[in-house]
Structure 1
Amino acid sequence: MRRLLLALALLAFNAGAAGMIDPEDGMVDMSHYLQDNPYGFLPIPVVITEPAVGYGGGLFGLFLHGKGKEIGHRFIPPAMTAFGGGGTQNGTRFVGGGHRHTWQDDRIRYLVAGGYANINLDIYSGDIAGFGSNRSVEAETRGYGGMQKLLFRVGNTPFFVGASQFWAEMSISAPSNPVIDKTWKRVLGETSTSSGLGILVEYDTTDNFFWPGRGVSLSGEYQFYGHYFGGDYRYDLMTLDGKYFIPLSPRWSLSIAANYQKLSHSQQHLPPMARPYIALRGISRYRYQGENVSTVQTQLAWQATPRWVVLGFAGAGSAADSASDLYNTAEVAWGAGFRYLIAKEYGLHTGIDVAFSDHEQAVYFNVGSGL
Structure 2
Amino acid sequence: MKRLLLLTALCCGQATSAGLIDPEDGMLDMSHNLEDKPYGFLPIPVVITEPAIGYGGGLFGLFLHGKGTQANGRFIPPAMTAFGGGGTENGTWFVGGGHRRTWQEDHIRYLIAGGYADINLDIYSGDVAGFSRNKAINTETQGYGGMHKLLFRVGDSPVFLGASQSWSKADIAAKNNPVIDRVWQRVLGDDSTSSSLGVVAEYDTTDNFFWPGQGVSLSGEYQFYGHFLGGDYRYDLLTLDGKVFLPLNPTWTLSLAGNYQMLSQQDQHLPPMARPYIKLRGISSYRYQGDDVSTVQAQLGWQVTPRWIVQGFVGAGSAEDSASDLYTSAEVAWGTGFRYLIAREYGLHTGVDVAFSDHEQAVYFNVGSGL
TM-score range for the pair, normalised by the shorter chain length: over 0.9
105 and 368 in structure 1: CA distance in 2 versus 1, 3 angstrom threshold? same
Determine the structure 2 residue equivalent to 1:200. 200
Cα deviation digits, residues 235-294 of structure 1 (max 9, x gap): 000000000000000000000000000001341100010000000000000000000000
> 1:5 offset after TM fit, Å?
11
198 and 10 in structure 1: CA distance in 2 versus 1, 3 angstrom threshold? farther
Determine the structure 2 residue equivalent to 1:303. 303
In 2: Cα distance, 1:269 partner to 1:8 partner: 53
Matches within 5 A, 1:315-334: 315-334=315-334
Q: Secondary structure at the match of 2:284?
A: coil
In 1: Cα distance, 2:216 partner to 2:5 partner: 36
Do residues 164 (structure 1) and 164 (structure 2) align? Answer: yes
3 and 369 in structure 1: CA distance in 2 versus 1, 3 angstrom threshold? farther
In 1: Cα distance, 2:6 partner to 2:288 partner: 36
Structure 1 contact 56–87 (Cα < 8 Å) conserved: yes
Determine the structure 2 residue equivalent to 1:121. 121
Cα deviation digits, residues 39-75 of structure 1 (max 9, x gap): 0100000000000000000000000000000112100
Q: C-alpha root-mean-square deviation of aligned residues, in Å?
A: 1.6
In 2: Cα distance, 1:224 partner to 1:8 partner: 50
Determine the structure 2 residue equivalent to 1:55. 55
Q: Secondary structure at the match of 1:179?
A: helix
**Unmatched segments (≥5 aa) in structure 1:** none
> 1:176 offset after TM fit, Å?
0.4
In 1: Cα distance, 2:4 partner to 2:86 partner: 12
38 and 317 in structure 1: CA distance in 2 versus 1, 3 angstrom threshold? same
> 1:358 offset after TM fit, Å?
0.7
Do residues 291 (structure 1) and 308 (structure 2) align? Answer: no
Matches within 5 A, 1:12-27: 12-27=12-27
Determine the structure 1 residue equivalent to 2:342. 342
Q: Secondary structure at the match of 1:14?
A: helix
**Unmatched segments (≥5 aa) in structure 2:** none
Structure 2 contact 206–217 (Cα < 8 Å) conserved: yes
Determine the structure 2 residue equivalent to 1:43. 43
111 and 7 in structure 1: CA distance in 2 versus 1, 3 angstrom threshold? farther
Cα deviation digits, residues 123-171 of structure 1 (max 9, x gap): 1100112433321000000000000000000001000000000100001
> 1:18 offset after TM fit, Å?
1.1
176 and 12 in structure 1: CA distance in 2 versus 1, 3 angstrom threshold? farther
Determine the structure 2 residue equivalent to 1:187. 187
- Give the counterpart letter for 1:131 in structure 2: F
Determine the structure 2 residue equivalent to 1:84. 84
- Give the counterpart letter for 1:29 in structure 2: D
118 and 197 in structure 1: CA distance in 2 versus 1, 3 angstrom threshold? same
In 2: Cα distance, 1:264 partner to 1:4 partner: 52
- Give the counterpart letter for 1:137 in structure 2: I
- Give the counterpart letter for 1:267 in structure 2: D
Equivalenced residues, count: 370
Query: Relative to structure 2, which stretch is displaced further, 138-147 or 124-133?
Result: 124-133
In 1: Cα distance, 2:95 partner to 2:5 partner: 22
- Give the counterpart letter for 2:348 in structure 1: L
In 2: Cα distance, 1:322 partner to 1:130 partner: 21
- Give the counterpart letter for 2:235 in structure 1: Y
Q: Secondary structure at the match of 1:185?
A: helix
Determine the structure 2 residue equivalent to 1:34. 34
In 2: Cα distance, 1:231 partner to 1:11 partner: 49
Give percent identity, aligned residues only.
76
Determine the structure 1 residue equivalent to 2:219. 219
Determine the structure 1 residue equivalent to 2:66. 66
Cα deviation digits, residues 312-354 of structure 1 (max 9, x gap): 0000000000000000000000000000000000000000000
Structure 1 contact 226–234 (Cα < 8 Å) conserved: yes
In 1: Cα distance, 2:7 partner to 2:112 partner: 30
Determine the structure 1 residue equivalent to 2:209. 209
> 1:94 offset after TM fit, Å?
0.1
Structure 1 contact 123–130 (Cα < 8 Å) conserved: no
> 1:7 offset after TM fit, Å?
7.4
Q: Secondary structure at the match of 2:285?
A: coil
Structure 1 contact 253–301 (Cα < 8 Å) conserved: yes
In 2: Cα distance, 1:9 partner to 1:172 partner: 47
